[in-house]
Amino acid sequence: MQTRFQWILVHPAAIVAQGAGSGLLHPASGTWGTLVGWLLFSFLYTNGMTAPWVWVIFLAVTFIIGVWACHITGKQLGVHDDSSIVFDEMWAIWLVMLFVIPLSIWWQLLAFGLFRLFDIWKPYPIRIVDGKWHNGLGVMVDDVLAAFYALLSFSVLFNVYKWITA
């Protein structure tokens, strides 16, 4: 069997699933992948990709690509959600940042942290999806759920802050 580094050079699915190599960084490969996703989102957004409809199409297309890439890479590595697979974190932080990008860097950092918290903690039903869906869709969906938890928590914290400072 090939090493992770060899596999990323052999198959395009691995390049996508392993976040162009960011998933090979240790420790905390998921955090590295999330950081790369945030930086990529910021680059695209500041360079003109600001229309919401463009992001909806981009997220739909990349979700499908992510399911494929995560599934193929997980099968090749023998672990359905290997720690080197970080495209799911990248995609989920794009979803989170879509809602918080107009805010300051401090609010973005909070959203980033909340996403990482829920992705690592895996509260109900994320843990069930992660434990039972052993394919690319399961890999992607558990992070989508973590993104929703992060956005919900962020919304509460942001509105409490606005209420307190009003």
Map tokens 């690592």 to a residue: 120
Per-residue pLDDT, averaged over 61-86, amounts to 94
pLDDT of residue 85: 96
pLDDT at 119 over 80: yes
Alpha helices in 11-135 (DSSP H): 12-17, 29-46, 52-77, 87-100, 105-121, 126-132
Six token digits for residue 17: 């699933």
| Bigger pLDDT: 24 vs 93 | 93
pLDDT at 1 over 60: no
Percent of the chain with pLDDT over 70: 94
| Bigger pLDDT: 14 vs 9 | 14
Task: Encode 80-107: b = buried (16+ Cβ within 10 Å), e = exposed.
Answer: bbbbbbbbbbbbbbbbbbbebbeeeeeb
Q: With bands split at pLDDT 50, 70 and 90, how would you rate the model's confidence at 3?
A: low
pLDDT at 7 over 60: no
- What is the model's pTM? 0.92
Q: Is 89 helix (H, G, I), strand (E, B) or coil?
A: helix
Map tokens 């190599």 to a residue: 21
Six token digits for residue 149: 């938890």
Per-residue pLDDT, averaged over 98-124, amounts to 96
Q: State the virtual CA torsion across 140, 48, 36, 2 in degrees, nearest 10.
A: 70
Q: Where are the domains of the chain?
A: 4-165
pLDDT at 9 over 90: no
* Sign of the torsion formed by the C-alpha atoms of 156, 157, 158 and 159: positive
Q: Which helix (H) or strand (E) holds 142?
A: helix 136-165
Round to whole Å and give the CA distance between 141 and 143: 5
